[in-house]
Amino acid sequence: MARAFGDAGWHVVIHYRASKTEAEALAASLPFAETVECDLAEPEEAEALILALSDRLPDWRVLINNASVFEYDTVTGIERAAYNRAMQVNAHSPALMAQAFFRIAKAEGGRRVIQVTDMKLENTNPDFFSYTMSKHAVAGAIAMMAKAHADPRDRIYGLAPGAILASHDQSEKETERSHLLNLLERRTGASELAEAALFLSQGWLASGETLYIDSGQHLLDQPRDVIYLAREGSAR
């Protein structure tokens, strides 16, 4: 997404927690970019980041909340620490940041918040329970916040990817197999997600809408995460 916006002529602010070297290398490869450090597990830091950027960005049009934690637990055994991290990083901080952005950021032609969710909103399974709960929380907040804009030009959207990159503890071979488990039986590309984010940044859709970029995966009813469906299939 950073590359897509950079190639389209945007000034890109790249957030990182610990990957400073990688973030700075990415910024150096783009025409107009900078990096900022923030631990989204700390709500005060997350909100302070928005306040600081709003003070010095005269035309801040888009905030994309795509960072998340993805730790394993199930519906039969919620892991308290994983739950607390997921709800803080994946739900609480994005909500605080969106609120602060709409409250104080300045932009010509309206502001856009894009909350990256997950196709698991529609195609649920018992795996990664706390993670999935947190993404449902984000999705619910999108609909509520869409009804509270002070400026009618503002928009908040959901962007729900399916399986795109290697996930959790997957090998590359497992990734190839699991990423075909969708209606189109094809791998969804990261560039497709980036193109969707660029489209949403223009504000053509009504506020509160969600785009699914998953080759139809959300239309299925899969009993487990595709990581395990692929492993179970390879074992038969």
Cβ neighbors of 52 (< 8 A, separation 6 or more) are: none
Cβ neighbors of 29 (< 8 A, separation 6 or more) are: 3, 6
Q: What percent of the chain has pLDDT over 70?
A: 99
Mean pLDDT of the chain: 95
**Taking the domains of the chain in order of start, what are their residue ranges?**
67-235
Residue 234 has pLDDT above 80, yes or no: no
pLDDT at 173: 87
pLDDT digits (tens, 9 = 90+) for 18-28: 999 999 999 99
Residue 236 has pLDDT above 50, yes or no: no
Residue 235 has pLDDT above 70, yes or no: no
Q: What percent of the chain has pLDDT over 90?
A: 90
pLDDT digits (tens, 9 = 90+) for 37-48: 999 999 999 999
pLDDT at 122: 97
pLDDT digits (tens, 9 = 90+) for 62-73: 999 999 999 999
- 67-235: CATH topology: Rossmann fold (3.40.50)
pLDDT digits (tens, 9 = 90+) for 74-112: 999 888 999 999 999 999 999 999 999 999 999 989 999
